[in-house]
Amino acid sequence: GAPLAVAPSYAEGRVIVRFRAGTSFLPGSGQARALAAGANVHLVDNPPGLSTAAAIARYRANPNVVYAEPDYTVTADQVPPAQVVLSQFEVPMDAILKAFAAARLAGATTVLNPAPAAVAPPELLALTDIVVPNEHEVELLGGVDALLHAGVGHVVVTLGSKGAVHHRVGVPPEHVDPFPVQPVDTTGAGDCFCGSLAARLAAGDPIEVSLRYAAAAAALSTTVAGAVPSMPPASDVATMLASRQG
């Protein structure tokens, strides 16, 4: 989950990582070093005995994205104020359900990256505002129409070098154009897309603008080897976006 937690920090965010004391996720561990490689990432130890591990991404000084890590025990009062709550299927399903329920109560936007591919329970889909599967994961989830019927507000199907397609009820599918690059390593591109999307939504960008940013960031991430080192800084994404305007 490190790339997904780090990606928002490069989209002009600030990430605070809280981890459970007594686990392998400690300062100096491989996971901690990976997270600390990100821009504006800070590691914070929880008091002993707390079974929590979370990455909290912030846009400037304002909290905006909560990212749940494995072993994260979530209750409504434990989720910090946030505009966006982001999770993936490396997190236990019960933790995602609790985090998304708390987010919905707080008025936050929920974003689900359904990877590794798995079947999502209906109660989770009903709490999901945006789901971002690839073309294989979307079929395992029952297809675009089934997801929209289940209550998901936006289905964004990523297509790799072909860009993405944004689906929502009552609106024709909208293609998110790709940014052609010479790829070196595609590891982490999906995490980069989702993390960047969440950060820009939390910053107040419309979903169309956020998707364009996410596509540019994900394309740039494939030009560098390594999942975490490949996360592009916001300045590089802005340059790519500017070069493709018009």
Query: Lowest mean pLDDT: which of 13-17, 149-153, 213-217?
Result: 13-17
Query: Lowest mean pLDDT: which of 52-66, 151-165, 186-200, 201-215?
Result: 52-66
Residue from 94, 177, 191, 236 carrying the catalytic annotation: 191
CA distance 241 to 246: 10
Q: Which residue has the higher pLDDT, 157 or 16?
A: 157
Structural Rg of the chain based on CA atoms: 17
Taking the alpha carbons at both ends of the chain, their separation in whole angstroms is 36
Tens of pLDDT, residue by residue over 89-134, are: 887 888 788 888 888 888 889 999 999 889 999 999 999 999 999 9
Please report, for residues 12, 70, 95, 152, the alpha-carbon distance to residue 201 in angstroms, rounded to integers and kept in the order given.
Answer: 12, 24, 22, 16
The pLDDT mean for the chain works out to 76
Task: Determine whether 138 is exposed, middle or buried from the number of CB atoms within 10 Å of its CB (0-12, 13-18, 19+).
Answer: buried
Tens of pLDDT, residue by residue over 138-167, are: 999 999 999 999 999 999 999 999 999 999
Residue 177 falls in the annotated catalytic set: no
Average confidence (pLDDT) over 215-238: 88
The predicted structure's pLDDT at residue 232: 85
Q: Which residue has the higher pLDDT, 71 or 176?
A: 176
CA distance 10 to 131: 21
